């Protein structure tokens, strides 16, 4: 019977097929909390026991010392305009070991944890090209690949020089015809035997969008390896391979720039008949054809580091700015932060900054513990960069004119301009969401899908029988759980705590059961067409993402001691997470257009889904309490917003002067209220608070000390809301010509050229 079922399923192509590159991606990394959520019956106790650590003292000292000093040394506005990292900053980065955070101490590096590297990247994320200099050497590229796969000779030669900054690396992957579909690269390396008897590679390639390429002197190049004479013993087409190329190698061309919307060094790499020894393959000739596996294994955890750090930095920067600004800026005689529309934006920013930071710490700690979860890492990359961008937009909305006028005092403008970069790189978010997260998760994280597919492809009836029976039992159990949990609204789910957050564990468990049931329906009813149903897959990805965020938020709350003052933020955040899961389910039900099952989901299913929702989201009354968390100076503001981003001095433009004004305004708030009350009741006649200070002092409404505090606060307030002004000499640029008009290479001096010219 099972043989017949196997053959029918195979002919009908009910389940999705897996290509060789997809198989390597599926086999890379590990299943983690995502597997619990796909099970339909997650073990929240084990998920709450995952580490949520503070940084080791050595790494915290680096953040408080060299990283803080770097923030003070970099002139953001100068860097934004010149796009050139000053020599003294290069020297500081090298001397302080910024290039070797990922490299073990045995090779001259710092050997930082994943969480430590993420913290450094988050703190330097707003430094434009300087931040990029910190990120690239310490993420996917030469150092990480050499540590994981390099020969001892390669490690001994390259790692100390990478740690010292003598070698500046870049990673050559993207091509004009191979972007998110990185497996389709056309860069070619052909193996041949040279006259001296050595095995060598001849490479020809065109790469683009390569970060640090214009200033790099060591390239890790991904290419298709061809070995027509089988000299390496791995066949004529070993596959994708990573090869090290040093600047100065004949035929290798570096130095040209693209012009990203956020300034950082990025450009093309060209190679024409570049010849290097076969020993330049990372891992040596025995690792020929293993490049795709290397990339997938490293991205399994690595995708959770750099880009999420930048996304979380954007969210925290938005929170750090809009909370204070909404209280410093007044209109109609009150802080704009008291207006409900603004309050809603501030509350959302505060809560989601809390959520995203929880995910960064939780997942980085998981990677440090030995997990390499590609699905969870993809969620972090897609969601943190997407939400970080959205929160910057909200921040610009709150700051209005002060947000869009550029200059040294603009706080969010540079991050806002640069945000699309993170959304598009390392797998564009639109494809990460609609193809990768659920497409990979449904097969890899499902308890029986991968085993069933393997048995189906291998025509292994015994393995197929075992996997299919297990899958059937899994589905039947989830049907039963789904009915019970739906009727009881998750009351039967075991929560690992007994406090008022227990309700959220129960609802997340209920959501997981529904998610698992819908996954099974999608696998069998949509089957092989799932790859083409990107919108449907994207909604599954959304549901999974917000379940992960719900778990990490609860873990943070309890790891930090279940602070009572954080409860309003946690309630808002969990209600929002559950609302997003609910919306994802509604989208799945509405667009599950298969016969019978689709009709049941679209009509009776959607009806019951709407009358028995997971959440209707946080209410308006909750916004006020959550917004207050970042509108009042103190430890809570530091933890949720500014913490991890640096400590601006009062005399610094932008954030420094805003925080200075905010503290003074907060300190004088109570006597100011007395003055304004007296003005409203006609006890004092004055056009504004400043003019009312002397009459209020004379009337005994405020003391001399309070008068001085109000005066200082109002002076600082007015300074903090000013924007930069430029004279004509600073504003206008007469041309785009090159600095040396005598060297045009046959082109007009102000014209760019195509990357392949």
* Cβ pair 111, 105 in contact under 8 A: yes
Give the model confidence (pLDDT) of 352-367 as tens digits. Answer: 999 999 999 999 999 9
Token pair 């953001």 in the structure block, residue: 76
Give the predicted TM-score (pTM) of the model.
Answer: 0.94
Q: Is 65 exposed, middle or buried (0-12, 13-18, 19+ CB in 10 A)?
A: exposed
One-character DSSP codes across 698-753: HTTSS-HHHHHHHHHHHHHHHHHT------HHHH-------S-TT--TTS-TT---
Residues of the chain with CATH 1.10.540.10: 57-168
Q: pLDDT digit string (tens) for 636-657? A: 999 999 999 999 999 999 999 9
pLDDT at 739 (0 to 100): 47
Contact 382, 423 (CB under 8 A): no
User: Is the separation of the CB atoms in 512 and 39 below 8 Å?
Assistant: yes
> Looking at the chain, which residues constitute the CATH 2.40.110.10 domain(s)?
171-296
Question: Which is nearest to 545 in space by CA: 306, 356, 393?
Answer: 356
Per DSSP, 173 falls in state -
pLDDT at 207: 97
C-alpha span between 349 and 316 (Å, rounded): 8
Catalytic: which of 50, 144, 386, 426? 426
Partners of 242 in the beta sheet?
222
Residue 752 has pLDDT above 80, yes or no: no
Look at residue 346 and tell me whether its pLDDT is greater than 90. Answer: yes
| Rounded mean pLDDT, 103-127 | 97
pLDDT of residue 749: 39
Run of H or E residues at 381: helix 374-399
3-state secondary structure of 332: coil
Strands (E), 126-260: 169-172, 188-193, 199-211, 218-226, 239-246, 252-253
Closest by Cα among 432, 436, 414, 412 to 423:
432
Phi/psi region, residue 206 (left: phi>0; alpha: psi -120 to 50; beta: rest), is beta
Q: Are 47 and 555 in contact (CB under 8 A)?
A: yes
Specify the pLDDT at position 740: 42
* Correct CATH for 57-168 of 2.60.120.620, 3.90.1150.10, 1.10.540.10, 3.40.1050.10: 1.10.540.10
What is the DSSP-derived secondary structure letter of residue 688? Answer: S
**318 in Cβ contact with 391 (< 8 Å):** yes
Per-residue pLDDT of 651-694, as tens digits, reads 999 999 999 999 999 999 999 999 999 999 999 999 999 999 99
Mean pLDDT of 187-208: 97
Query: Would the CA dihedral through 323, 328, 329, 332 be positive or negative?
Result: positive
CB under 8 Å, gap of 24 or more: what pairs does 733-737 form? Answer: none
Of 284, 225, 281, 220, nearest to 252 (Cα)? 220
Second CATH level (architecture) for the domain 171-296: Beta Barrel (2.40)
pLDDT at 528: 72
Angle of CA points 79, 81, 85, to nearest 5°:
30
Residue 282: alpha-carbon gap to chain centroid: 28
Task: Assign residue 584 a region (left: φ > 0; alpha: ψ between -120 and 50; beta: otherwise).
Answer: alpha
If you average pLDDT over residues 592-620, what whole number do you get?
95
Dig out the tokens for 37 from the structure. Answer: 């959520």
Q: Give the pLDDT band (50/70/90) at residue 460.
A: confident
Model confidence at 558: pLDDT above 70: yes
557, 439, 566: which is closest to 502 by C-alpha?
557
Task: Tell which residue, 643, 31, 627, has the closest CA to residue 358.
Answer: 643
The secondary structure of residue 55, as a DSSP letter, is P
235 in the Ramachandran plot: left (φ > 0), alpha (ψ -120 to 50) or beta?
left
In contact, 661 and 328? CB cutoff 8 Å = yes
Average pLDDT, integer, range 488-511: 97
Q: How far is CA 81 from CA 87, 90, 268, 413, in A?
A: 16, 18, 22, 13
Structure confidence at residue 301 (pLDDT): 64
Residue 20 — pLDDT band, cuts 50, 70, 90?
Answer: low
Q: How far apart are CA 539 and CA 593, in angstroms?
A: 14
- Considering only the C-alpha atoms of the chain, give the largest distance between any 2 of them, rounded to a whole number of Å: 100
Share of the chain above pLDDT 90, in %: 82
At residue 743, the pLDDT reads 38
Active site includes 426? yes
What's the whole-number mean pLDDT along residues 366-395? 96
Q: Which residues contact 679 (CB under 8 A, 6 or more apart)?
A: 685, 686, 689, 692
Q: Is the pLDDT of residue 286 over 60?
A: yes
Residues listed for the chain: 757
β-pairing, 188-193 with 218-226? parallel
Per-residue pLDDT at 296: 85
Q: What is the pLDDT of residues 392-441, one digit of tens each?
A: 999 999 999 999 999 999 999 999 999 999 999 888 899 999 988 998 88
What are 217-234's pLDDT values in tens digits? 999 999 999 999 999 999
Kindly report the average pLDDT of the chain as a whole number. Answer: 92
The mean pLDDT value for 3-26 works out to: 70
Confidence of residue 216 (pLDDT cuts 50, 70, 90): very high
In the numeric block, which tokens belong to residue 127?
Answer: 């430094």
pLDDT higher than 90, residue 458 = no
pLDDT in tens, 227-270: 999 999 999 999 999 999 999 999 999 999 999 998 899 999 99
């Amino acid at each position: 019977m099972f043989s017949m079922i196997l053959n029918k399923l195979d002919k009908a192509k009910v389940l999705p097929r897996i290509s060789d590159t997809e198989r390597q991606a599926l086999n890379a990394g590990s299943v983690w909390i995502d597997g619990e959520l796909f099970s339909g019956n997650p073990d929240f106790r084990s998920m709450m026991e995952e580490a949520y650590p503070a940084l080791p003292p050595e790494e915290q000292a680096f953040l408080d010392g060299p990283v803080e000093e770097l923030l003070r040394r970099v002139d953001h506005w100068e860097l934004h305009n010149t796009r050139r990292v000053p020599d003294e900053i290069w020297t500081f980065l090298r001397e302080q070991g910024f290039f070797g955070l990922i490299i073990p101490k045995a090779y001259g590096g710092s050997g930082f944890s994943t969480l430590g590297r993420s913290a450094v990247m988050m703190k330097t994320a707003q430094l434009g090209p300087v931040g990029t200099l910190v990120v690239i050497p310490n993420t996917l590229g030469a150092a990480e690949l050499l540590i994981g796969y390099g020969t001892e000779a390669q490690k001994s030669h390259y790692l100390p020089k990478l740690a010292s900054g003598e070698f500046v690396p870049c990673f050559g992957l993207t091509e004009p015809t191979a972007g998110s579909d990185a497996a389709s690269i056309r860069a070619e390396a052909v193996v041949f035997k040279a006259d001296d008897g050595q095995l060598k590679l001849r490479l020809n390639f065109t790469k683009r969008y390569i970060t640090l390429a214009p200033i790099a002197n060591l390239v890790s190049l991904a290419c298709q390896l061809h070995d027509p004479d089988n000299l390496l013993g791995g066949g004529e087409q070993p596959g994708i391979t990573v090869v090290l190329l040093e600047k100065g190698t004949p035929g290798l061309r570096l130095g040209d720039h693209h012009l990203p919307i956020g300034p950082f060094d990025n450009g093309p790499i060209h190679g024409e008949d570049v010849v290097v020894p076969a020993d330049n393959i990372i891992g040596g000739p025995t690792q020929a054809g293993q490049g795709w596996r290397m990339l997938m294994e490293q991205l399994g955890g690595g995708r959770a580091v750099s880009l999420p750090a930048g996304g979380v930095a954007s969210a925290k920067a938005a929170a750090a700015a809009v909370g204070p600004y909404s209280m410093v800026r007044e209109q109609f005689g009150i802080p704009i932060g008291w207006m409900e529309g603004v309050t809603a934006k501030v509350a959302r920013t505060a809560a989601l900054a809390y959520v995203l930071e929880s995910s960064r710490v939780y997942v980085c700690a998981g990677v440090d513990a030995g997990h390499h979860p590609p699905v969870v890492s993809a969620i972090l990359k897609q969601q943190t960069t997407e939400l970080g961008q959205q929160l910057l937009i909200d921040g610009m909305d709150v700051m209005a004119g002060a947000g869009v006028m550029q200059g040294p005092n603009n706080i969010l403008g540079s991050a806002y301009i640069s945000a699309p970069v993170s959304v598009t790189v390392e797998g564009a978010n639109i494809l990460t969401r609609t193809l990768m997260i659920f497409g990979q998760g449904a097969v890899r994280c499902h308890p029986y899908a991968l085993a069933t597919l393997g048995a189906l492809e291998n025509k292994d009836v015994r393995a197929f029988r075992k996997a299919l029976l297990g899958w059937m039992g899994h589905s039947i159990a989830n049907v039963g759980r789904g009915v019970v949990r739906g009727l009881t609204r998750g009351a039967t789910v075991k929560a690992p705590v007994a406090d008022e957050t227990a309700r959220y564990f129960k609802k997340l468990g209920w959501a997981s059961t529904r998610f698992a049931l819908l996954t099974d329906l999608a696998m069998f009813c949509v089957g092989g067409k799932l790859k083409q149903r990107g919108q449907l897959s994207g909604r599954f990805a959304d549901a999974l993402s917000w379940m992960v965020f719900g778990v990490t938020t609860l873990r943070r709350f309890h790891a930090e001691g279940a602070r009572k003052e954080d409860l309003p933020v946690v309630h808002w955040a969990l209600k929002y997470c559950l609302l997003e899961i609910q919306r994802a389910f509604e989208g799945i039900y509405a667009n599950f257009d298969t016969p019978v099952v689709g009709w049941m989901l679209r009509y009776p299913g959607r009806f019951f889904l709407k009358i028995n929702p997971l959440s209707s989201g946080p209410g308006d009354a909750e916004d006020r309490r959550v917004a207050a968390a970042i509108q009042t100076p103190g430890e809570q503001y530091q933890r949720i917003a500014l913490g991890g981003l640096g400590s601006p001095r009062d005399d610094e433009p932008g954030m420094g002067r805003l925080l200075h004004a905010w503290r003074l305004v907060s300190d004088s708030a109570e006597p100011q209220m007395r003055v304004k009350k007296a003005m409203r009741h006609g006890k004092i006649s004055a056009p504004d608070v400043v003019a009312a200070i002397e009459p209020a002092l004379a009337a005994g409404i405020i003391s001399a000390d309070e008068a001085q505090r109000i005066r200082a606060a109002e002076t600082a307030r007015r300074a903090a809301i000013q924007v930069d002004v430029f004279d004509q000499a600073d504003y206008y640029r007469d041309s785009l010509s090159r600095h040396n008009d005598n060297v045009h290479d046959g082109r007009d001096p102000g014209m760019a050229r195509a990357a392949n010219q």
